[in-house]
Amino acid sequence: MKRREFLEKVAKTAVATTCLGMGPSLGCGRKALREATPDAPNIVLLIADDLGWKDLGCYGDRQISTPHIDGLAAEGVRFSNAFVAAPSCSPSRASIITGQHPHSNGVTGLSHRHKRLMLSPFKTTLAEVLDRSGYNTAFEGKWHVAPYLPTSWYGYAERLSGIMPKDFWIRSSDEAIAFIEENRSNAFYLEINYMDTHRDDYGEFQFVKEFPVDPEKIAVPEYYTLPDWPEIREEVAKYYSNASKMDMMIGKVLAKLEELQLGEKTLVCFVSDNGPPFPGNKMTLYDRGIGTPLVMRWPGRIPAGTVNESLASTIDLMPTFLEAAGAEIPPEVQGRSLLSLAMGKGNEALRDSIFAEMTYHVNYLPMRAIRTAKWKYIRNYSDDAVGLDQCSHMEWAQRLSELSNQGWTRPRVPEELYDLENDPNEQENLVANPAFAAALERMRERLDAQMVETRDPYLGREFERNFTAEASEHPAGKRYP
């Protein structure tokens, strides 16, 4: 970090300290208007919480109603092989705004449970670079990369929602619409973090009465790899109902852009932070845990109604937006810009594999994975059980874990290998099959090379046997190494 940037960080930190506890209208930042750079687009980043990568109409789910997000895809590009850096909220979101893997930016677990894992204010963020580049920057909703610190420390000039956990839930689009109206003549970056598809503090979903979903008229999505039990269908129906509410609020934001004739001047991106909140999905490195919907719209620049099948990672979003804004991409960014792919300028893939990781969620779950178009290799560093997360209090979830392919309360194995072309739901571990020994060795080498390149501290670590039945039944009591 340059000396000037360091001093700016210290100055912002000193000012922001006096703002702790202030309401969203103050935001601990300035509202000075700036003249827009002619060719630099406004950027609106919409992040869903716990929304599965195939749980949208535009991704083939005919049971859910998401017309506004589907409209974004119809007017832009949909990435069909996009993945988060980690299947847990804090690490995933920190990777989006830093362009770095969790073990590189330091956010390797839920930061509200592990305060030492909060994102350092001295890490360069997307909002900070855009702020320096003349953008008005704002944040609304869930702040989970450093929940005990102000967003202004991380480059967001305005915060449109309060700092308490209850304020993380966005109830309407009013604040976002007001920000857009105030900045109609200025370059702006607006990040909106929706929590609708996340369970509440009690691990429950409630139906949204304006968006009814009949559990008897839907089926549990096949890619969840869960049985189509009535109890699970009801949970999925509630989840769908909340997703539709989120879609409605997104629609109001998009409508305001059109009303102000900002649609063609705005790059809109929709993404999720990890897989759906059901056992064996979120918190795992299977595609159902790390796969994410990724949709971008920029009329006149991104061809409408296109689909890109290239492997993409959410660490690629920061360099993508910075390239679109004409801003310098910091050298420590590990992602690669997707802008050329999104704009249809060549079909050459940026990479032939993606990397994903987990170290902590609430509990210790160390694992790493490398994925190509055909193979997925997962290396577990302990036999700690994945657990049932917020579903652990539900009778059906406990009963589910007794099924042979639902071992979420049982110890994990050291290695996993899956043939994604023939087994897309990753049900048959091929590690012990001698016919796939060569493929296994190649994937081991790929993962090692990735870990060397990024200085992953888990490289070479031995597999730990920590599992106890008591810990798997009472995950809140597990240790935090």
- Residue 19: the pLDDT is 42
CATH of the domain at 66: 3.40.720.10
Is the domain of 86 the same as that of 134? yes
Neighbours of 182 (CB within 10 A): 15
Strand-pair category, 415-419 with 188-193: unpaired
Tens-digit pLDDT profile for residues 4-62: 454 455 555 444 444 434 444 334 444 455 554 667 999 999 999 999 999 999 999 99
Percent of the chain as helix, strand, coil, to the nearest 5: 35, 15, 50
Nearest to 418 by CA among 409, 427, 410: 427
Is the domain of 295 the same as that of 359? no
Both tokens of 245, joined, read 């509410």
Residue spans of the chain under pLDDT 50: 2-4, 6-7, 13-31, 36, 474-481
- Residue 11: the pLDDT is 53
151, part of any domain = yes
* Torsion angle of the four alpha carbons 68, 69, 70, 71, in this order, in degrees rounded to the nearest 10: 50
Is the domain of 221 the same as that of 161? yes
Neighbours of 208 (CB within 10 A): 18
Residue 443's contacts (CB-CB under 8 Å, 6 or more residues apart) are 370, 372, 375, 377, 417
Is the domain of 80 the same as that of 161? yes
* Calpha distance 404→380 (Å, rounded): 19
As a residue count, the chain comes to 481
The total number of structural domains that make up the chain = 2
Is the domain of 358 the same as that of 338? no
For 458, the domain range is: 354-477
* Calpha distance 122→115 (Å, rounded): 16
Is the domain of 195 the same as that of 270? yes
Residues in a beta bridge with 379: 368, 415
| Distances, alpha carbon 442 to alpha carbons 1, 44, 130, 287, in Å | 37, 40, 40, 20
Cβ-contact 280, 274 below 8 angstroms:
no
Query: What single DSSP character describes residue 299?
Result: T
Residue 10's contacts (CB-CB under 8 Å, 6 or more residues apart) are none
Is the domain of 310 the same as that of 450? no
419, part of any domain = yes
Tens-digit pLDDT profile for residues 271-301: 999 999 999 999 999 999 999 999 999 999 9
Query: What single DSSP character describes residue 134?
Result: T
DSSP letter string, 347-370: ---S-S-EEEEEEESSSEEEEEEE
Backbone angles phi, psi at 192, to 5 degrees: -120, 125
Residue that finishes a domain, picked among 275, 308, 342: 342
Nearest to 406 by CA among 396, 416, 417, 415: 396
Strand-pair category, 82-83 with 364-371: unpaired
- Residue 350: the pLDDT is 87
- Residue 28: the pLDDT is 46
Cβ-contact 150, 156 below 8 angstroms:
no
Is the domain of 276 the same as that of 386? no
Is the domain of 389 the same as that of 421? yes
Both tokens of 455, joined, read 């200085």
349, part of any domain = no
